[in-house]
Amino acid sequence: MDKPSPIIELSNIKTRFGMQRIHQNLNLQVLQGERLALVGGSGCGKSVLLSELALLTEPEAGNIKLFGQNVKKLSTAELKLMRTRMGMMFQQGALFTSLSLLENVMLPLREHQKLPESLLKELAMLKIQLVGLPTNAAHKLPQELSGGMLKRAAVARALALDPNLLLLDEPTAGLDPASASAFDELILDLHAKLDLTLILVTHDLDSLWRVTDQVAFIGRKRVLAKEPMKTLINNQDPDISHYFANTRANRAMTSQLTRGETS
Ligand SMILES: Nc1ncnc2c1ncn2[C@@H]1O[C@H](COP(=O)(O)OP(=O)(O)OP(=O)(O)O)[C@@H](O)[C@H]1O
């Protein structure tokens, strides 16, 4: 089998807000099909990096290559097309509260695909079912859904345009352990069914063990390591070992050992 090609190549990314330097010469490569988490201490710039990858914000300097193309060289129309190849799930779901779940999922379809209304509805319903939501949830408003359902709804919207790359910002934050675990299984299932590359920002150690095959650790304003959880946990870099040296990490490792490894 051919070696997977890089879907993301970040080189020498520099980001700052005013005097605050966030990334300094950050490099990262993500291969097609990977299930990668971005981890690191609070405020190290994980969400900012995710929004740069989603082309929502621009770094101060450096190169971003997505799907083999340098984004700086793309026209406005090409950038718009590239955005449709990425689905982003925001931390708070970011659904429009005045629209039903169905209408929320139809929004990106309506914007990008000139299709009859009935077909748009049908496509949106398929996405709602794909994320394991009951069809009767489609006509509910976001505030009528539970936390776990809201997360699934946000994923349904992120998948509306059949993206190749799915970006998830703290997908299990705020969920109870059973819902978080069910959400991890959903992500794994979608990855397998839809041939996706996944990038998730998470502090959830159970998700790190269960969902990812690679973890990029951000510290000292750059990527200090990119490796599977089982080697990262033993990485001797002081920032990495400090991050994992707590009881929650040990608890997750124990639970991983008892659940068996994913791959
Ligand atoms: N639009 C902005 N303007 C100014 N500062 C910002 C902006 N967005 C983020 N920051 C700052 O950049 C830093 C990195 O933020 P980011 O949200 O990426 O951190 P994070 O690693 O995701 O943290 P956490 O794990 O706590 O969510 C923080 O200090 C944050 O306050």
Instruction: Give 204-239 pLDDT, tens digit per residue.
Output: 999 999 999 999 999 999 999 999 999 999 999 999
pLDDT for residue 90: 81
Q: In the chain, how many domains are there?
A: 2
Would you place residue 158 in the very low, low, confident or very high pLDDT band (cuts 50, 70, 90)?
very high
Note whether 164 and 4 are within 8 A (CB).
Answer: no
What number of CA atoms fall less than 13 Å from residue 205's CA on the CB side?
A: 17
22 lines ligand 1 (CB under 6 A): yes
Give the angle subtended at the CA of 193 by the CAs of 87 and 179, to the nearest 5°. Answer: 70
Question: What whole-number distance in Å separates Cα of residue 207 and Cα of residue 148?
Answer: 15
48 lines ligand 1 (CB under 6 A): yes
191 lines ligand 1 (CB under 6 A): no
Asked whether residue 74 falls in the same domain as residue 56, the answer is: yes
Q: Whose CA is nearest to atom 19 of ligand 1?
A: 43
pLDDT tops 50 at residue 258: no
pTM of the entire predicted model: 0.89
Q: Which domain holds residue 147?
A: 93-162
Q: How far away, in angstroms, is 16 Cα from ligand 1 center?
A: 10
* Percent of the chain predicted with pLDDT > 90: 70
* Residue 2 per-residue DSSP state: P
CATH number at residue 23: 3.40.50.300
Asked whether residue 180 falls in the same domain as residue 146, the answer is: no
Q: Whose CA is nearest to atom 24 of ligand 1?
A: 42
Asked whether residue 68 falls in the same domain as residue 99, the answer is: no
Closest among 163, 228, 229, 199 to 52, alpha carbons compared: 199
50 lines ligand 1 (CB under 6 A): no
Give the angle subtended at the CA of 139 by the CAs of 137 and 142, to the nearest 5°. Answer: 75
Asked whether residue 102 falls in the same domain as residue 43, the answer is: no
Q: How far away, in angstroms, is 152 Cα from ligand 1 center?
A: 25
Asked whether residue 141 falls in the same domain as residue 186, the answer is: no
Residue of higher predicted confidence among 189 and 4: 189
Question: What whole-number distance in Å separates Cα of residue 6 and Cα of residue 25?
Answer: 19
